Amino acid sequence: MWRPRRVLVMPAALEHAHGRAMLARAEALGLPVERLASNRLPSAREADPRRAYAAAKATLALTVAPPTKLRLQPIPPSADWRFDLAEGCPAHCQYCYLAGSLQGPPVTRAYANLEAILGNLADYAGRGAVTSASAERAREGTTFEASCYTDPLGIEHLTGSLSAAIRHFGAWDAPVQLRFTTKFAAVEPLLDLPHNRRTRIRFSVNPRAAAHYEGGTDPLDARLAALAAAARAGYPVGLTVAPILPVPGWEAAYAGLIRAAADALAGVPDLDLTAELITHRFTPGSKAVLRGWYPGSDLPLDEAERVEKRTKFGTVKHVFPKPLMQAMRAHLTACLARDLPAARVLYWT
């Protein structure tokens, strides 16, 4: 469980009952709390960028989501809408998806105006490109993704925000779904919540050969045990296989991963399981940030081994060449069909 070395509390956060509740959690855990005089984060104390990164990653700020966060963005193919309970994550994945998209130092910011964040979602129910794109996805209802900018389970012991969101969706009388994906395993406090099967808990998994890229996360076996526990508690669950990498012996590595998931889920009644298959990619911006954060990493980030793909915004991302993509896709979908036929594959990207 993450214990931040600093908890910064903005005055605006304490205007909200949820902000005061998060402060009480931090104090109960004996964490060093600093009440700020203003609603601005203090500038980094460290001049050295590596130390500044480490200090930011060890800091939790209790703050308020700005109004822009209440204008939701579509987030295909994962979900219809993205919403944020927090921004930032205490883990140290060398391929972190947040690199290049976070503004400022990677402090984890937990939002106190939870009531407004959850209340705002009603305006978006019944609308969404992902839901309307296929009958397969339509059965999920309008989907709301809570893990684009954070790992909400990794900070749940400090925030309680995820439990509140699960309760909110459980009580919501409409075809809607809360979704989040995690690299953590502390699902115990979620198991007895009145989720009403309206939250899909997905676990981000990768073969053991890629585990060294995922610093500060829970081990694969713990994640798979948590997957099974969530499924037994009646939650719809999912595997987010990401980021798919051609690690040495990748065919056997990914076959072993799918078999391990199948073993963990054996005998779970009423299993509602999806799979999302996401290959590794990087942008020039994310590469620059990751090289700064993890200078010793052996994560493959060589443009010569990739092909360029243009996004609809005209930016470039570097993806694997088509033959490798096709081989990996065929292999993973065959492994799923053979060992985990219950899994509905939502997308490959």
User: For the chain, where are the E strands, in sequence order?
Assistant: 6-9, 33-35, 59-63, 73-75, 79-82, 86-87, 92-93, 108-111, 142-145, 176-182, 199-205, 214-215, 237-244, 273-279, 307-310, 316-319, 344-348
* Piece in contact with ligand SF4 (CB under 6 A), picked from 25-33, 90-98, 160-168, 309-317: 90-98
Q: What are the respective helix, strand and coil percentages of the chain, to the nearest 5? A: 40, 20, 40
Q: Which residues contact 170 (CB under 8 A, 6 or more apart)?
A: 193, 194, 195, 196, 198, 199
Q: Does position 151 bind ligand SF4 by CB under 6 A?
A: yes
CB 330 → ligand SF4: shortest distance, Å?
Answer: 26
Q: Of the two residues 131 and 182, which places its CB atom closer to ligand SF4 in the complex?
A: 182
* Two tokens, residue 204: 């981000």
Q: Does position 140 bind ligand SF4 by CB under 6 A?
A: no
Q: Does position 155 bind ligand SF4 by CB under 6 A?
A: no
Binding mask 215-234 for ligand SF4 (x = CB under 6 A): --x-----------------
Beta-bridged to residue 199, according to DSSP, are 178
Among 97, 172, 250, 282, binds ligand SF4 (CB under 6 A): 97
Q: Is 279 helix (H, G, I), strand (E, B) or coil?
A: strand
CB 87 → ligand SF4: shortest distance, Å?
Answer: 10
CB 261 → ligand SF4: shortest distance, Å?
Answer: 18
CB 255 → ligand SF4: shortest distance, Å?
Answer: 24
Among 16, 69, 168, 183, binds ligand SF4 (CB under 6 A): 183
Among 98, 146, 158, 176, binds ligand SF4 (CB under 6 A): 98
State which of positions 246-285 bind ligand SF4 (CB under 6 A): none
Q: Is 189 helix (H, G, I), strand (E, B) or coil?
A: helix
Size of the site for ligand SF4 (CB under 6 A): 10
Decide if 121 contacts 59 (C-beta within 8 A).
no
User: Which chain residues interact with ligand SF4 by CB under 6 A?
Assistant: 89, 91-93, 96-98, 151, 183, 217
